[in-house]
Amino acid sequence: MTQAADTDGAWRVAAGGRWDLEGAARLVRTLDAVRPSGGAAVRVDLSGLEALDTVGAMLLTRLADRLKGLGHAVEVAPVRPEHAPLLEAVRAAAAAPVQVPERPHPIRDMVERTGRGTVGLMREGLELLAFLGEITIAFGRILRDPRRLRVRAVLSHIEQTGLNALPILGLLTFLIGVVLAFQGADQLRRFGAELFVVNLLGVSVLREIGVLMTAIIVAGRSGSAFTAQIGTMKVNQEVDAIRTLGLDPVELLVVPRALALMITLPLLAFYADIMGLFGGAVMSYVVLDISFGQFLRQLHGAVGLGTFLVGLIKAPVFALVIAMVGCYEGLKVSGSAESVGALTTKAVVEGIFLVIVLDALFSVLFSYLGV
């Protein structure tokens, strides 16, 4: 690089050779020595430039900015056509304002996360409500033309969600009955009212515990299976193929699962009630020496048909919610195995959450009705 004063008093800085990363250190030292006297205008001549990369363009831009800061009028010309786009891009990047990230504010961030979560929850609720409408329309089409119902699929899902769930459901509800009887006996023994542990068991198991535990187990077992099955079909583009054939995925995939679960969950709830009471009867015999005949007589006087029906009425509603959430999340899978796993977990959490919320609403409703 050379610098000299022209006859008109302007300074001319001639850039030549290769301006690239390899010679950047040498160029920095050379450019620091460019200090025109006075306030003379400076013209940077790039006609002799052989090669220019991003580093060289950045050094030229910094030179021009430094000279302008010293009060010189700077002109960069002539510029070879092959170098002009890069030089303009670097100039534009240097002129762009620097975005300084704001320091995180814990309270503001918490409020923002809460608001974002609330909006997302409302959007999710509206989408679930719309999906429930699609399921209702599909059920209506099947009621109008029963031949549209895939009976084999319904029977297959009844086996998967019902018969295959009996062992785990029976074991868990039996143990819950044992725990309730033991804890109730431990408390009622202080008042000499051990026999009323049968009343406690009958009301709690038939009215709440049996159907609630059944719904939670089915949500974790069958709800996740629905999401994984439909999600895998979505990944393999089978759902897209169904739509391409002019078929409705809701009618073909969702309705058989929902109908099967609405049939099996009341039966599973009844089975859970029996196993829970049986576990309580066994523990009552062991701990309180209450015979099975005494247990049945006290149970008959403590609970009526209404108590049993209150628990059983909830089962189809819980089943529809579990199937709806599981299938809805399965249809939301975006096309990767990671998405299948994440939405399967989400389906289980949402299903259990909605079941507990609905159970609370049912309790308030039945209390208001005096049932």
In the prediction, which pLDDT does 20 show? 77
Query: Helix (H, G, I), strand (E, B), or coil: what is residue 134?
Result: helix
Ranges of residues in the chain with a pLDDT under 50 are 7
Residue ranges of domains in the chain, CATH in brackets:
2-95 (3.30.750.24), 125-369 (no CATH)
The pair phi, psi for residue 15, each rounded to 5°, is: -100, 130
In the prediction, which pLDDT does 7 show? 47
In the prediction, which pLDDT does 2 show? 54
Alpha-carbon gap, residue 267 to 218, rounded angstroms: 12
What angle in degrees, to the nearest 10, is found between the helix axes of 197-204 and 255-288? Answer: 170
Maximum C-alpha span of the chain: 123
Q: What is the pLDDT of residues 131-177, one digit of tens each?
A: 999 999 999 999 998 888 888 999 999 998 888 889 999 999 999 99
CA nearest neighbour of 174 among 142, 213, 139 = 213
